[in-house]
Structure 1
Amino acid sequence: MTQHGEKQGETGRVTVCVYCASRPVPERYVRLAAEVGTGIAERGWRLVSGGGRVSMMGEVARAARAGGARTVGVIPRELVEREVADTEADELLVVDTMRERKGLMDAHATAFLALPGGIGTCEELFEVWTSRYIGMHAKPVVLLDPDGHYRPLLDWSRGLVESGFASRESLEALTVVEDVESALRACGVE
């Protein structure tokens, strides 16, 4: 395990930061994560993830590596055992805080892709979505929602526009798709 690593952009290659579940979930979501990892590898891209090796987080990394993709995991020290650190990652960065984790994941990424997940995934998604909307970065922010997992959240977000708490442009900063191919196409920033 290392403390520091390369930053994105060294070769201009796409590096997708994938946010997803790190706890037990229905098998269809684990298969979805594997499909995403395989698609990243097939394009010759890299993956950055939260550095865990269980559930969707582990599966996206395993599938990416199986296809030849370079994987970078970023995990806080306190979660090394809880999330079962992905010691097979090409580069595993161990940090002290969640804020450091997100900062390093952001720094390595050229695009962000959120898969179905819980409150941690939502928190990560909202941070990069907000940052894009306010102009702190111009990287694609993509939400893959194949089965309506995020439908209530998206309805609520549209309601924010209707009630004046958010602008229509803020919603346009997020690309919402229903299939892996569309999600990866939206991430392709080469």
Structure 2
Amino acid sequence: MSRSKKKWICVFCGSANGARAEYLATARELGLAIAGKGHGLVYGGATAGLMGAVADAALSAGGEVVGVIPDVLMDREIAHRGLTELHAVHTMHERKALMASRADAFVALPGGFGTMDEFLEILTWAQLRIHSKPCVLLNVGGYYDALLQFLDHAVEQGFLKTENRQRVLVTEDVPGTLLEIKRAWEQIETPVHDPKLDELVK
């Protein structure tokens, strides 16, 4: 697959390993699968936790990995120095915008505040028609069950439209995740790369 046609998958996830071994195992499996399909990985640029696991796995399989990390976290999260590209930015806002502009799809593995911030913001941008890229919640071991219940509650209470709730593609394993992304790419009528995202980076 040529570089010009390579698709890039952005993964949001925790900088901790989590309490269950399957979180780390799934992060590694996802990294291997992304590289194995010839896609590139975009992520937060750290070596710690699930972030480091998904990146190391993709690299070990010969994949290209782009990391984006703000200056303030360069040492705290121990920036990954072995990536294909590592971009140091000034703010968290710049980090999210650059990751979004480089990606053709988004996947959230288990994580905390940061992961939720990144995934919910990218969903908000989809709701606002800033992009039409697939957004997948990889619900490892039911980790996101409570969040999904909340989203359904938001629909019931009139704060979230059903059509926007449906933008959250939910999968339970890595093969299902890549299949959902593939299906979504096939259905996208507009170009995967949206210049509106470039404006957010500036």
TM-score scaled by structure 1?
0.92
Distance apart, 1:74 and its partner CA: 0.2
Q: Does 1:65 find its partner at 2:59?
A: yes
Equivalent position amino acid for 1:139 in 2: K
- Aligned with 1:128 (options 95, 108, 122): 122
1:19 paired to 2:2: no
- Tell whether the 8 Å contact from 2:23 to 2:140 is kept in structure 1 after alignment: no
Query: Greater relative contact order (Cα 8 A, min sep 6): structure 1 or 2?
Result: 1
Per the TM alignment, residue 12 of structure 1 is displaced from its structure 2 partner at its CA by 2.7
Mapped partners of 2:127, 2:53: distance in 1: 30
- Give the TM-score, by structure 2 length: 0.87
Contact 1:113 1:187 in 2 (8 A): no
Q: Does 1:155 align with 2:149?
A: yes
Structure 2 residue 78 is matched with structure 1 residue 84:
yes
State the secondary structure of the residue aligned to 1:100: helix
The correspondence for 2:95, drawn from 93, 101, 107, is 101
Q: Which of 26, 38, 44 is residue 44 of structure 1 equivalent to?
A: 38
Deviates more, 1:126-135 or 1:71-80: 126-135
For the pair 1:33 / 2:27, whether they are aligned, the reply is yes
**What are the ranges of 5 or more consecutive residues in structure 1 without an aligned counterpart?**
1-8
Q: Alpha carbon RMSD of aligned pairs, Å?
A: 1.4
Q: CA-to-partner distance for each residue in 1:23-55, whole Å, 9 max, x for gaps?
A: 242332111100000000110110000000111
Structure 2 residue identity aligned to 1:70: E
Task: List, as ranges, runs of 4+ consecutive aligned residues in structure 1 with deviation greater than 3 Å.
Answer: none
State the identity as a percent.
41
